[in-house]
Amino acid sequence: MTVTSPRSHGLPKTLIACMAFVSGFCIMTIEMLGARILSPYFGGSLSVWGSIITIFMLALSVGYLIGGRLSTRHPSARTYAVFFILAALFSLPLILLADAIMEPIFLTIVDPRYGSLVASVLLFFIPTAILGMISPYSVRLMVDSSEHSGHMAGVLFFVSTIGSAIGTLGTSFYFVLWFEVNQILWGAIVALLLAGAIVLVADQIVSTRTSSKHYDKQARKRPS
């Protein structure tokens, strides 16, 4: 017995997989840069890494929950694109407001463990949570039938985690050697904005195509 739930939006599966890759890549790129952003104020001790990883994990878990919830009602490519665009916009404070956010924390919280924890919440929680929403939402967009849902989820976790692995390696091995921290962050922001734009354009193409097919069918029907 299979319960079918037609993919009303009709985005190509490969495209969704690519988007999941981009989000996985950007999550880890930002996370790896987190230590560099925080170290001028809170140092490079183990607890600073602890703060960053804790907040990323919490933000992702909240993101998964919200993203999954949002996917149950009228999943659409447009909402999907909005995740990418919002994640990009909420990453801007990492570049524009990092010092303004960290300085008062440094001044009020003497213990660098809690200082770095609070700074991580303010800097990373929102963009990471939004990036987390992409995963369950991708699954929903890619699933045709509940029979294949596990398979599709597996494919998406595979692709986005590979993206994370490459983002981690690229950032820590090469990007920091070639670019400044803010340049890498701009790269991630532009990548997310592009991803959002691509989803919107693809959605436009797909919907015009389906509506023209629909129109063709109707046109063919009429003479008979």
Partner 1 sequence: MINKRVNVLPEFLLLLSLLLAWPAQAEVIHEEKSKYRDITVTEERGRRCLLFNVHRGDRNQTCMYVNDPDRLVFDYTQMSFAGLLLKPDPQSILVIGLGGGSIPMVFSQLYPEARIDVVEVDEAVVRVAEEFFDFAETDNMRAIVEDGRPFIKRAGLRGIKYDYIVLDAFSGDYIPEHMLTREFLEEVKAIMTEDSVLVANTFSTSRLYDHESVTYQRVFNEFYNFKLPTSGNRIIITQLQPLPPRGRLVTEAGRLADELRKFGVPLQDYPRRLSTRVDWDMSRRVLTDQYSPGNLLQAN
| Contact call for residues 101 and 92 (beta carbons, < 8 A) | no
User: Token pair of 48, please?
Assistant: 């600073």
Work out how close the CB of 110 gets to partner 1 at its nearest, in angstroms, rounded to a whole number.
8
Residues with Cβ within 8 Å of residue 149, at least 6 apart in sequence:
139, 143
The 3-state DSSP class for residue 81 equals: helix
Which among 128, 139, 31 has a CA at the least distance from the CA of 75? Answer: 139
Taking CB under 8 A as the binding criterion, the range among 7-15, 35-43, 61-69, 213-221 that sits at the site for partner 1 is: 35-43
What character string, x for contact with partner 1 (CB under 8 A) and - otherwise, covers 106-135? Answer: xx--x-x--x--------------------
Residue 40 is a binding residue for partner 1 (CB under 8 A): yes
Among residues 7, 10, 18, 39, the one that binds partner 1 under rule CB under 8 A: 39
HSE (CB half, 13 Å, CA atoms) of 5? 15
Residue 36 is a binding residue for partner 1 (CB under 8 A): yes
Residues with Cβ within 8 Å of residue 202, at least 6 apart in sequence:
11, 12, 15, 77
Among residues 42, 83, 90, 124, the one that binds partner 1 under rule CB under 8 A: 42
**Residue placing its CB nearer to partner 1 in the complex, 76 or 182:** 182
Among residues 14, 78, 150, 180, the one that binds partner 1 under rule CB under 8 A: 180
| Contacting residues toward partner 1, per CB under 8 A | 36, 39-46, 48, 106-107, 110, 112, 115, 173, 176-177, 179-182
